[in-house]
Chains A and B, each alone.
Chain A
């Protein structure tokens, strides 16, 4: 009996052939860390890790013909835990549960003195001097556009609740527009699109279904485009196009940024699309 027990014990240990044992430091905090560290390090029949949360020391037992210390420590670092060989990627560390965010050894960053000679970053804000008489008109529709952009951002995040709330704001803004404050051109377009703008906005507000909201956002954007074309803006607006939206028929939207953030697919196809026109 005793022999069988003994045998099974040795069998347990003998799971890893020609086992080599080493002791290394791995940074971490708590029992949860221990779980993650050991799980990341263990490979059946190849490597076993036993970490002690008090001493921060880990016992590595492994088969040197199949693996090495570096491989084990790299796996552990990729799970978020630094050792003296590897530093975990920052984003992985940041994603560790709060209780596991142990104190990291600070790296000494070198401050690079560099002359920035970047010509491509012309700031568009430098064209702010709009004439004073147009300012009033700008303001009149600006609230509308701003709310439209907020709605668009909600759709980029695929957040139906937020989109509905933003649509409500947009509807308020649309209703508050004083037509006598608009320029002639704006007025003409406004009369043409006002009804549809309100129609689509109401529908976006009514539902929390992002798919349905996007259907309306498509026509809303087309009308908004007509309006913004004739309305003078302080900063440029980008008219963007995704050929895949709307079941492959394509759809447009307006954005304040040149970089594409697609409101029709959200994170699925965030960068699908391109700027087709810059409205200044």
Chain B
């Protein structure tokens, strides 16, 4: 303990340790001072803004022992408000650190003190719960040590040397911009990751039909992750060596996934990985070859160093597998582990096609699919299903290699951890006589518009869910979306019903894969308002949240006006996202701008010629997306155009006429997304004219080429081809029935 104190003193000059002797066990107050400050980092060769705490990214590792009282002084030196959430901890609601739910935001240049008793042990972490601050540095390890006299102290596990490990990712884009781009279905990230899955690539891979079916079912290219990251980090760096360990040593890694949206595969070059705890709770040791750690989960694993003068690679590979990050454990020559091969995206697409119904729902497999046991993505893993496309090699070598690699690259003996393998060492049953409250949530989403919800409702469309103290809340979760979601409950651990009976493991984050159904239960024993949400930061900010609120709870002194605060919270996760696009072409300007949130869309399009004969026209639509898939959007519109055509009239195919040159019209209409993602727009104007239009944008021909077309009953049509040169830049050529042929430069935001 003394040693520990010295370390604190060295690291943080203001650490004060008070001893409270009211108990026989010397109860200790452990104080940390955290200074939150803007900083400039350089992970990629470019200087970017980040947030550092005590000049560190990640934030300093906080260590407590069960029985301590934590006192954490947060000094906000930012120009914006902040907060800190203690992930996985049982603590009084007002210490939970969710702004507008359990406290007011910590305003700039103020200090907030979190103070709570440590009544559990295990590997946890902490992070900002304000906006997107977690993405740019505000995450850190939180280690709660077991007392050596704890009856659950496990010799050979709890007495091993430990290394806290926090995984994270870095993007040079501002997280707000990432968020906005996701909502605008920008496929720039896919281009960066090489996962566009265009028609051209599909044909090359012999999967044209797969791509066609995929679009017929109105799906955009699917991916296992949304965001392109420049770097992945372990404890804030991309590669380092733990040289203090030698052959024969066992090392306990306390791993927390502090990434904002990345799942990581964990593999080790020195043999099996022994999993001993999950989400801060002990589990019966289980040996595996690899495991996936969901966003915000924690795992404690033990690895062994098998040989002398060798350092073994511990590799964390994000699920998208485009990059990886490693540490080397031991000193000496570095023994590498095989990197995970690239995903076979079209195989995944094929599988998705089979699972997706025409009405946009997934096949409900009931409890047949649960607990990560059937990983649908397996179909994309070459290390398990074999590599169908032979790697590009010299012919000679290829032939030579064929015989060797074919049987050995298909390795079905890889043991992958799943939730069914987790077993608590102690009985975790809940009181038998307590009333049970059954809740059911369907996780829903719309990839095309990046809407993520529960029961098709985002936080801003729901009230708090009232629960009673003393009851058992049993939640059935069914994932009817195309992505996996790490669902996190604040303030409580829940039992995962996984076939281990009385020894069901305790967790606070549940990764749920598409089409899975899982059941969790917890005892409502800690008063307050507790967040229950998807821990993928951008899903949370899109509204995939709920709040469990205890009935008749005592008022929260930190949050006097709860009603108002809840409205603030709701608004935060349903922001309007701005989008702009203009094509500066030889025949005119084509563009649009849009403001959208979960349900509403405000958009204006324009076509502006360079002279009166080509004319000028704009169409403005205000619409609301209807239904789970948001294929239907009724709208009201306003059209205006001016063109010098000497008073000509034009006739539409219904025989209705209208003036070509000067026109101001209100309209009512409806847009509907047809299979193949073609938008059918039917509009009736206040002069009784009817217009039906078919339109499709962004047909992915190749990695960077996009085609588009439009045709309507006013006998107007347009075809275009767009080349995406950069995040905000493209080249476009198109032919328009009004304005003729044009080449131009497209800017978008």
Interface residues of A (CB under 8 A from B): 32, 35-36, 74, 77-78, 84-89, 91-92, 94-99, 107-110, 112, 120, 241, 243-244, 248, 250, 261, 267-274
Contacts and interface: CB of A to CB of B under 8 A. Distances in A.
Nearest to B328: A86
Interface stretch (B59-67, B329-337, B542-550, B679-687): B329-337
B42 to A, nearest CB: 14
Nearest to A32: B397
B375 interface: yes
A86 to B, nearest CB: 5
A110 B247 contact: yes
Contacts of B518: none
8 contacts: A35-B394, A78-B339, A86-B334, A243-B366, A243-B369, A248-B363, A268-B347, A271-B378
B308 A108 contact: yes
A91 B379 CA distance: 21
Contact of B378 (A74, A94, A243, A270): A270
Interface residues of B, number: 47
A274 B397 contact: no
> Can you list the 8 inter-chain pairs with the closest CB atoms, starting with the nearest?
A243-B368, A107-B307, A97-B400, A89-B338, A110-B248, A110-B247, A87-B335, A267-B385
Given A32-B396, A35-B394, A269-B379, A92 B338 contact: yes
Given A84-B333, A89-B337, A268-B385, A108 B307 contact: yes
Contact of B308 (A74, A85, A92, A107): A107
B409 A77 contact: no
B378 A95 contact: no
B333 A95 contact: no
Contact of B338 (A91, A98, A241): A91
Nearest to A94: B408
A97 B337 contact: no
A274 to B, nearest CB: 6
Given A85-B333, A97-B397, A274 B379 contact: no
B261 to A, nearest CB: 26
Contacts of A92: 338
Given A268-B379, A268-B385, A87 B334 contact: yes
B399 to A, nearest CB: 9
Given A89-B337, A248-B354, 7 more contacts: A77-B336, A95-B405, A99-B400, A107-B309, A112-B248, A250-B368, A271-B374
B470 interface: no
A250 B374 CA distance: 14
Contact of A112 (B304, B309, B394): B304
A108 to B, nearest CB: 5
Nearest to A108: B308
Contacts of A85: 333-334
Interface in B220-279: 247-248, 269
Given A36-B397, A97-B400, A109-B307, A267 B410 contact: yes
B708 interface: no
A94 B407 CA distance: 12
B404 interface: yes
A269 B378 contact: yes
A97 B399 CA distance: 9
B148 interface: no
A103 to B, nearest CB: 16
Contact of A243 (B339, B365, B410): B365
B333 A86 contact: yes
Interface centre among B306, B385, B386, B412 (most CB of A within 10 A): B412
